[in-house]
Amino acid sequence: MSEASGHRGFVIAVCGLRAEARIAARSAEVKAIAGGGDARRLGGLIQEQIARGGKAIISFGIAAGLAPGFDAGTCIVGSEVVSASDRKRYAINRSWTGELRSRLVRVEFAPIAGVDRPLVATAEKLALHGKTQAVAADMESHIAAELAARHRLPFALLRVVADPVERQLPPAALVGMRQDGEIDLAAVIASLARNPTQLRALMGLAFDTKRAFAALLRCNDLLGPRLGFGDLG
């Protein structure tokens, strides 16, 4: 995490992977956390950063595509968050969101869903899109949005599609994230050894994810030291 000046507060970037958090932490007034797919742990990390002076929360990272036409590398500024489990909807900060949209090039503006587990199959991605109208999904946004609302903090979303709706996740991709948000290469290799036929799908996912991270890095660099947020006070 980057060091932010204590008297000014800082923006909390909520991520799933450490690789996402490392990108967000390039911004001088941002502290980035990685949940690693553990909702309870992520909630605790967010609460900890709020207590330390976090003044705004952004859900930041890659996401699964839910609708046709959202290719790998598509940047999405969220218009709202929809929790897939209970359909609860969370609002975004309009001023901050407007700043994100004005600074980024070729960005989509649409709802994003928060899910409690990875979406594997095309059919379930399309089904979630049909139920919520969300065009992408991740495992952190609904948690971040709920805590932002509870603490009355500004909230925004920036997500980049890594696996488009037509891409199904191979088993090796589902075992690859550790609780700290790092990639568990040993688990990935073991999964491949058990089922070598998934190698092609895994390579395709890796290519798409590389495109997504490149786009996320470009977005981060365009948004400045507070990821587009205004005066921290």
**54-86: per-residue pLDDT in tens?**
999 999 999 999 999 999 999 999 999 999 988
Domain that holds residue 16: 6-223
Which of 173, 181, 224, 219 has its CA nearest to residue 200? Answer: 173
Percent of the chain residues topping a pLDDT of 90: 78
2-6, 77-81, 175-179, 215-219: least confidently modelled range: 2-6
Position 1 in a domain: no
- Identify the CATH number of the domain in which residue 76 sits: 3.40.50.1580
**Residue bearing the bigger pLDDT, 6 or 162:** 162
Q: Residues near 191 by Cβ (< 8 Å), separated by ≥ 6?
A: 170, 171, 172, 175, 198
Give the C-alpha separation, 159 to 163, whole Å. Answer: 12
For residues 98-119, average pLDDT = 94
Report residue 2's pLDDT band, with 50, 70 and 90 as the boundaries.
very low
Position 144 in a domain: yes
Q: How many domains does the chain have?
A: 1
For residues 90-112, average pLDDT = 95
Q: What is the model's pLDDT at position 186?
A: 85
For residues 131-151, average pLDDT = 97
Position 229 in a domain: no
Give the C-alpha separation, 141 to 58, whole Å. Answer: 8
Q: What is the model's pLDDT at position 4?
A: 42
Report residue 39's pLDDT band, with 50, 70 and 90 as the boundaries.
very high
Q: Is the pLDDT of residue 145 over 80?
A: yes
For residues 117-124, average pLDDT = 93
Give the C-alpha separation, 172 to 183, whole Å. Answer: 11
Position 230 in a domain: no
Q: What is the model's pLDDT at position 185?
A: 85
Q: What is the model's pLDDT at position 233?
A: 55
Structure tokens at 134: 């969300």
Position 233 in a domain: no
Q: What is the model's pLDDT at position 183?
A: 79
For residues 108-131, average pLDDT = 96
Position 202 in a domain: yes
Position 188 in a domain: yes
Position 44 in a domain: yes
Give the C-alpha separation, 16 to 31, whole Å. Answer: 14
Q: What is the model's pLDDT at position 79?
A: 98
For residues 202-206, average pLDDT = 91
Cβ–Cβ < 8 Å for 33, 49 = yes
Neighbours of 150 (CB within 10 A): 10
Q: What is the model's pLDDT at position 187?
A: 85
Q: Is the pLDDT of residue 231 over 80?
A: no
Report residue 25's pLDDT band, with 50, 70 and 90 as the boundaries.
very high
Report residue 6's pLDDT band, with 50, 70 and 90 as the boundaries.
very low
Strand pairing report for 107-114 and 89-90:
unpaired
Q: What is the mean pLDDT of the chain?
A: 92
